[in-house]
Structures are given as C-alpha cells and as structure tokens.
C-alpha cells in the first residue's frame, strides 16, 4: 500500500493531474522519488499525442511548437519553471552562499529570472519549431522520452546528491527515502528508457543521453560550489536545463 501512496503523492506534488487526497505519513513518502519519472512518462505521452493530433489537423508549425512549449507547464503547473527562475536569480546575485539560499526561499522574482526565462523559452521554441519543420515522427518519439529521462536523472540526483539544507520539500521527501529500493527503481527505469529510445534510433539516443549526462555533471558541480548541495529549486533548474539541452541536441542531430 505504501507503494501506491507514494505513486499518488508523486503525481500530486509534481503534476496537476487529479489524484485522491491522502493524509501524509512518513512511511508513505519512501518511494516518491522512484515514481517521480512516471510524471515525465505521462507528459511525454501528451507531447507525442499533440504531435499526432496537430499533424492530422495540419496546424502551422509555429502553433504546434508553442503548444509543445507550454504543455509541460500545463501538466506540471510550472513547479519546475519556478525553481529555474529562483535559481537564476540566486546565481546572478553574486552573493555568498547564505544569500543565494535566502533568495531561493524568496517568493518574489528578480530581473535575471525574467531575462533567463525569456532566453530559455526563445531557444526552446526555436528547437521545437525546427523539429516541427523537419516533420520526422522519429524525432518526436525521442522527444517524448526526454521528459522521462530528465526525471529519472532528477530523482537520482535528489536521492544521492548532498542536500544544501535541512528543510524544504525536497528534503522532506529525500530524508525518509528508502534509498536502496528507490535507486533500484530508478536504475530499472533508466534501462527501460535507454532501450526504448534506442530502439527508435540508437545514434540520436546516444547524443541525447550524452547531453543529459553532461548537464547532470554540470548540475552537481554548480550546486555544490554555489549552494553547498541541492534543493528543490535547484532540482527544478536541472530539470528545465536538461530538457532544453536534450531538445536542442535532438533538433541538431535530427537533420542527419
């Protein structure tokens, strides 16, 4: 029963998909990070369904790309974008570690958050529009897998990387996580994702996984250096950056 409750909690916390209301107990949160990638699996399915529907309707590529861009916000409620914006403000404050951590907790947004989100959205839209122009179904199958992969890696980082502080939503989940079983669950899903995407195109999948690995290494280095560890906001930042980089790489290799 704890597994089912963890699954429900994962979707309740990290998506806007309606879920039954639960009274939270510590034992029910042990496997949340292990089920977190399934939110990405659902989101990826929504993206591919939109690709098929927009193709059938003959929609302009600009409109198709815009919906691809906003679907993650619709499904997740923008929780990860919020982390991306908060982290952008904190990094560009150029203050000490404590100041950066305090900025992460500030509910207000600064100029750098807006600037970075505009740049992020423009680059993301350009990559999606390019893929829509190329019109290859194979690319959008791989694109759907990106959302699954990003959350597998995000879950792995949340469970295994050092935390920056002893409070916050991420700490609440990871402090009670059954690390052995969650890592096993994430490992199984990583293999499933690799095989599934590899069956579509092994070379393009390799390029996407390489990009994801490089972003994960950057994320660990940046989080430890700038903040002393990871937080929920930083996890959102990683998710956004990794999905952007993987999409850009996919758009580039899609011409081959």
Question: pLDDT tens-digit profile of 143-164?
Answer: 999 999 999 999 999 999 998 8
Range 84-109 average pLDDT: 88
pLDDT-wise least confident of 58-62, 68-72, 106-110: 106-110
**pLDDT the model gives residue 185:** 96
Contact 36, 151 (CB under 8 A): yes
- Cα–Cα dist 10/96, whole Å: 33
Beta bridge partners, 37, equal none
Q: Which residues in 238-251 are b (16+ Cβ under 10 Å) and which e?
A: bbbbbbbbbbbbbb
**pLDDT the model gives residue 105:** 85
pLDDT grade, residue 63 (50/70/90)? very high
pLDDT grade, residue 1 (50/70/90)? low
Residue 255, Cβ neighbours under 10 Å: how many?
Answer: 10
Q: Which long-range contacts (CB under 8 A, 24 or more apart) does 137-141 make?
A: 137/51, 138/200, 138/201, 138/204, 139/204, 139/250, 139/251, 139/254, 140/47, 140/48, 140/51, 141/48, 141/197, 141/200
Beta bridge partners, 163, equal 230
Contact 42, 63 (CB under 8 A): no
**pLDDT the model gives residue 193:** 97
Query: What are the backbone dihedrals phi and psi of residue 185, each rounded to the nearest 5 degrees, phi first?
Result: -65, -40
Radius of gyration of the chain (CA): 18
Residue 200, Cβ neighbours under 10 Å: how many?
Answer: 16
Give the alpha-carbon dihedral of 80, 254, 252, 53, to 10 degrees.
-40
Rounded mean pLDDT of the chain?
92
**pLDDT the model gives residue 144:** 97
39, pLDDT greater than 70: yes
As a whole-number percent, the residues of the chain with pLDDT over 90 amount to: 73
pLDDT-wise least confident of 11-15, 121-125, 147-151, 244-248: 11-15
Question: pLDDT tens-digit profile of 98-146?
Answer: 899 889 888 788 889 999 999 999 999 999 999 999 989 999 999 999 9
As a whole-number percent, the residues of the chain with pLDDT over 70 amount to: 99
Contact 147, 170 (CB under 8 A): no
CA atoms within 13 Å, Cβ hemisphere of 30: 10
**pLDDT the model gives residue 114:** 94
């Amino acid at each position: 029963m704890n597994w089912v409750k963890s699954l429900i909690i994962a979707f309740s916390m990290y998506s806007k998909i309606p879920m039954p209301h639960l009274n939270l107990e510590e034992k029910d949160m042990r496997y949340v990070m292990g089920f977190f990638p399934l939110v990405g699996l659902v989101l990826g399915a929504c993206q591919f369904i939109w690709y098929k529907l927009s193709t059938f309707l003959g929609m302009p590529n600009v409109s198709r790309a815009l919906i691809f861009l906003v679907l993650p916000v619709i499904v997740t409620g923008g929780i990860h974008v919020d982390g991306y914006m908060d982290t952008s403000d904190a990094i560009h404050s150029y203050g000490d570690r404590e100041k950066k951590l305090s900025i992460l907790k500030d509910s207000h947004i600064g100029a750098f958050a807006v600037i970075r989100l505009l740049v992020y959205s423009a680059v993301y839209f350009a990559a999606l529009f390019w893929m829509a122009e190329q019109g290859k179904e194979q690319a959008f199958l791989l694109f759907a897998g990106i959302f699954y992969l990003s959350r597998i890696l995000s879950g792995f980082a949340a469970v295994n990387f050092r935390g920056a502080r002893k409070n916050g939503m991420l700490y609440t989940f990871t402090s009670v996580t059954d690390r052995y079983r969650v890592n096993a669950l994430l490992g199984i899903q990583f293999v499933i994702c690799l095989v599934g995407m590899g069956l579509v195109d092994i070379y393009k999948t390799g390029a996407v996984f390489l990009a994801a690995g490089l972003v994960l290494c950057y994320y660990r280095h940046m989080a430890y250096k700038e903040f002393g560890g990871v937080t929920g906001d930083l996890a959102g930042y990683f998710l956004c950056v990794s999905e952007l980089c993987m999409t850009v790489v996919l758009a580039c290799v899609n011409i081959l």
